[in-house]
């Protein structure tokens, strides 16, 4: 050991003696002379290039640190002497990062060609400046491969590695500018943990992947490389979670564009110019930005004086000239009320995909149960399945129940109780004027001018669903029918394409009018023409997205039963005639014994009974159809 140390010491002394004895210029000349006969070529990659920073230097650092260390193609060029790498972890990256230590050398095999990398560091005592550079040495005959393949490979790999290790950032607006200290999103939501219909999830993932790999395609078709998503649905159904999953999947930063914090269109322009590529710009609850609301609906603009951004300002920012300055951008709008958004904002090309996130289904629940409780089946699943569709519970609410305990039994029992209460809440509470007056009298409801309601022959319904309160007015004689429709089928006009309460009330009157007629009329009295007109009305209602599938079904049943109704009518006629005959014959045989007449009476009675049975069986059928009506 001592001899090795003394040998190394002697070598160091000789090296410094050579340095002292031979001047720098002579050393450089000798070096150049040896290089002239060398087949090696060296590229020097400095930190700066021209007047700007050298992106190849940065890429080499990442490539060598991340790729080469992990790669099986790394060779130790120093003949077995230990290699030194720097290792560390910055706050804004997920993993450890590695780098070559000063004067370390490694060889990267690229397509069988050895590429020798050296990292150099020099400190000038006179200028006090530290200089760092990489040297890439290779055989001259491989110069073309290096230029056209290897260097681009280094750049691409470094970009990919940077994206992989980079933490997604969340940017918010502070005083007309993106806050300089963007926070790292450590949101754990991914497409694996997001509970959603499997087909929809796959569809969104495919869409994102084809977008991200579509650079050439977008260029070819002459469209900007950007994509717009509208996420709509009730609160807590996973809109923000989906955005987090998208950001994590793509490794894109999120820019939360809170329009109420933007003072003008020009500030919006400035903000968007600062948004980096590979980012998701999110405008949450876009319907709440009143100036951007549906112009056709004639909304009141002044009620939100703080919001200064105009619709045209936003449209321009999304797909006007301004957006040409960026690439690989995704714009996401979220809303609880899609119908309130101006159609101009939603048209294809701006919002390419409209994704509805809805209440928890049984399949969504099973994914949440697997995520939260690690269970895939349980005795209580059957009851959950029975309740979940009608409960209209959001995934957030279901997840909340599943987090209450680590014991699946406790959680599922709690969830079932919760769903049961939601099911009964989801039944609409219908209040007629009388109930309202009583509530006003008892101070449950604030007093309201009900003058008009009293004077008109109409009844107002307050339909309170789990997330909406609607008022409809229908004729008083239809009130009870409407109440039953709501109780049995929920708010059937909730998803209608019409908006005004007046029009929706008229639609409800049409539905109730049909039911009233069907309840009152004997089916055999119904003419085919009248039935046809009812069916046409129901079709029109369905066209307007009124949920009357159940009424359509009843009308179908009645149509099928119509020949039976006609038959029933003739049976009744025959029975009536028989009864008259029996009465007449009984009078005739009174006091005299006429065996043949008595026999005839018996026969007619038997036939009448038979007819009554047939009629009653047909009528039972008709009643069943009627019972199907609310």
Ligand X SMILES: Nc1ncnc2c1ncn2[C@@H]1O[C@H](COP(=O)(O)OP(=O)(O)OP(=O)(O)O)[C@@H](O)[C@H]1O
In the complex, which residues of this chain contact ligand X (CB under 6 A)? 194-196, 235-241, 336, 395-396, 399
Instruction: Tell the smallest beta-carbon distance from residue 202 to ligand X (Å).
Output: 15
Count CB neighbours of 340 within 10 A: 17
Q: Between 106 and 168, whose beta carbon lies closer to ligand X?
A: 168
CB under 8 A, 24+ apart: contacts of 452-456: none
Q: Least distance from C-beta 396 to ligand X, angstroms?
A: 3
Quick one: 246 or 565, whose CB is closer to ligand X? 246
Least Å from the CB of residue 466 to ligand X: 14
Residue 175: how many CA atoms within 13 Å on its side-chain side?
1
CB nearer to ligand X: pick between 165 and 248: 248
Cβ-closest residue to ligand X?
Answer: 238
Q: Can you tell me the distance from the alpha carbon of 606 to that of 57, in angstroms, rounded to the nearest whole number?
A: 108
Nearer to ligand X, 401 or 509 (CB): 401
Question: Between 316 and 336, whose beta carbon lies closer to ligand X?
Answer: 336
- Residue 120's beta-bridge partner residues? 133
Strand extents, DSSP E, 336-410:
353-356
- Tell me the CA end-to-end span of the chain in Å, nearest whole number: 100
Provide, rounded to whole angstroms, the least separation between the CB of residue 366 and ligand X: 12
Nearer to ligand X, 43 or 396 (CB): 396
Residue 201 CB contacts under 8 Å (≥ 6 apart), including other chains = 191, 194
Least Å from the CB of residue 223 to ligand X: 29
Tell me the closest approach of the beta carbon of residue 109 to ligand X, in angstroms.
Answer: 45
> Which is closer to ligand X, CB of 262 or CB of 286?
286
Beta strands 329-335 and 226-232, pairing class: parallel
CB of 336 to ligand X, least distance (A): 6
The greatest distance separating any two alpha carbons of the chain, rounded to the nearest whole angstrom, comes to 162
Least Cβ distance, residue 346 to ligand X (angstroms)? 18
Q: In what helix (H) or strand (E) does residue 266 lie, and over which residues does it extend?
A: helix 265-274
Nearer to ligand X, 235 or 549 (CB): 235
Considering only CA atoms, give the Rg of the chain.
40
E strand or H helix that includes residue 330: strand 329-335
Which letter, b or e, does each residue of 286-325 get, where b requires 16 or more Cβ atoms within 10 Å of its Cβ?
bbbbbbbbbeeeebeeeebeebbbebebbbbbbbeeebee
Q: Which of 508, 514, 481 is nearest to 494 (CA)?
A: 508
**Angle at CA of residue 575, ends 573 and 578, nearest 5°:** 110
Instruction: Identify which of residues 245 and 565 has a Cβ nearer to ligand X in the complex.
Output: 245
How do beta strands 177-178 and 105-110 pair?
A: unpaired
Q: Count Cβ atoms below 10 Å from residue 569 Cβ, excluding itself.
A: 16
Burial category of 267 from C-beta neighbours within 10 Å (exposed 0-12, middle 13-18, buried 19 and up): middle
Residue 402 CB, nearest approach to ligand X (Å): 10
Q: Which is nearer to ligand X, 194 or 482 (CB)?
A: 194
Question: Is residue 1 classed exposed, middle or buried when 0-12, 13-18 and 19+ CB atoms within 10 A define those classes?
Answer: exposed
Residue 256 CA to residue 254 CA, distance in Å, equals 6
| Torsions phi, psi for 324 (to 5 deg) | -70, -20
- Give the nearer residue to ligand X in terms of CB position, either 168 or 482: 168
| In the complex, least distance from residue 353 CB atom to ligand X, rounded to whole angstroms | 16
Angle between helices 55-62 and 151-165 (to 10 degrees): 70
CB of 272 to ligand X, least distance (A): 23
Q: Nearest approach, Cβ of 195 to ligand X (angstroms)?
A: 4
Q: Helix (H, G, I), strand (E, B), or coil: what is residue 93?
A: strand
Cβ atoms of 169 and 254 closer than 8 Å: yes
Q: Is the Cβ of residue 153 or residue 239 nearer to ligand X in the bound state?
A: 239
For ligand X, give the closer residue by CB, 194 or 611.
194
Minimum CB separation from ligand X for residue 422, in Å? 16
């Amino acid at each position: 050991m001592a001899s090795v140390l003394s040998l190394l010491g002697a070598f160091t002394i000789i090296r410094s003696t050579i340095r002292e004895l031979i001047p720098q210029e002579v050393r450089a000349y000798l070096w150049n002379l040896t290089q002239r006969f060398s087949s090696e070529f060296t590229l020097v990659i400095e930190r700066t290039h021209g007047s700007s920073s050298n992106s190849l230097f940065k890429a080499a650092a990442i490539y060598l640190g991340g790729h080469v260390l992990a790669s099986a193609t790394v060779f130790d060029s120093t003949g077995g002497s230990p290699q030194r790498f720097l290792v560390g972890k910055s706050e804004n990256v997920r993993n450890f990062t590695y780098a070559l230590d000063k004067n370390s050398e490694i060889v990267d095999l690229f397509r069988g060609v050895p590429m020798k990398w050296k990292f150099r560091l020099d400190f000038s005592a006179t200028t006090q400046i530290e200089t760092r550079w990489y040297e890439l040495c290779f055989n001259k005959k491989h110069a073309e491969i290096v230029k056209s393949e290897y260097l681009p490979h280094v750049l691409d790999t470094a970009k990919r590695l940077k994206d992989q290790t980079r933490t997604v950032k969340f940017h918010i607006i502070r005083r007309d500018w993106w806050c300089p200290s963007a926070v790292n999103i450590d949101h754990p939501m991914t497409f694996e943990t997001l509970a959603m219909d499997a087909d929809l999830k796959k569809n969104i993932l495919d869409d994102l992947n084809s977008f991200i790999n579509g650079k050439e395609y977008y260029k070819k078709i002459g469209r900007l490389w950007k994509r717009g998503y509208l996420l709509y649905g009730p609160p807590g159904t996973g809109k923000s979670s989906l955005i987090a999953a998208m950001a994590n999947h793509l490794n894109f930063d999120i820019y939360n564009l809170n329009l109420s914090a933007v003072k003008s269109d020009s500030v919006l322009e400035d903000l968007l110019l600062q948004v980096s590529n590979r980012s998701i710009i999110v405008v949450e609850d876009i319907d709440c930005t009143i100036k951007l609301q549906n112009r056709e609906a004639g909304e009141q603009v002044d009620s939100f004086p703080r919001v200064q951004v105009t619709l045209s300002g936003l449209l321009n920012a999304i797909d006007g000239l301004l957006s040409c300055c960026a690439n690989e951008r995704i714009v996401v709008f979220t809303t609880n009320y899609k119908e309130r958004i101006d159609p101009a904002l939603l048209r294809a090309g701006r919002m390419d995909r409209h994704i509805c996130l809805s209440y928890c289904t049984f399949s969504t629940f099973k994914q949440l149960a697997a995520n939260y409780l690690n269970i895939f089946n349980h005795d209580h699943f059957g009851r959950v399945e029975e309740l979940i569709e009608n409960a209209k519970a959001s995934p957030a609410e279901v997840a909340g129940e599943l987090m209450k305990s680590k014991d699946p039994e406790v959680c599922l029992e709690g969830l079932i109780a919760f769903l049961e209460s939601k099911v009964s809440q989801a039944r609409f509470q219908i209040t007629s004027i009388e109930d309202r007056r009583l509530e006003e009298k008892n101070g449950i409801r604030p007093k309201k001018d009900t003058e008009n309601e009293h004077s008109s022959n109409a009844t107002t319904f307050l339909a309170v669903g789990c997330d909406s309160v609607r008022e409809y007015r229908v004729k008083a004689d239809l009130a009870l029918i409407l109440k039953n429709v709501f109780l049995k089928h929920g708010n059937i006009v909730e998803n209608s394409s019409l908006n005004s309460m007046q029009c929706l009330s008229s639609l409800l009157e049409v539905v109730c009018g049909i039911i009233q007629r069907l309840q009152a009329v004997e089916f055999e009295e119904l003419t085919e023409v009248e039935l046809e007109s009812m069916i046409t009305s129901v079709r029109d209602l369905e066209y307007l997205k009124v949920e009357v599938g159940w009424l359509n079904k009843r009308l179908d049943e009645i149509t099928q039963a119509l020949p039976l109704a006609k038959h029933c009518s003739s049976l009744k006629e025959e029975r009536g005639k028989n009864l008259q005959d029996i009465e007449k014959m009984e009078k005739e045989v009174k006091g005299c014994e006429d065996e043949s007449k008595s026999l005839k009476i018996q026969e007619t009675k038997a036939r009448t009974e038979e007819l009554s049975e047939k009629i009653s069986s047909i009528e039972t059928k008709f009643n069943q159809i009627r019972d199907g009506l609310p």
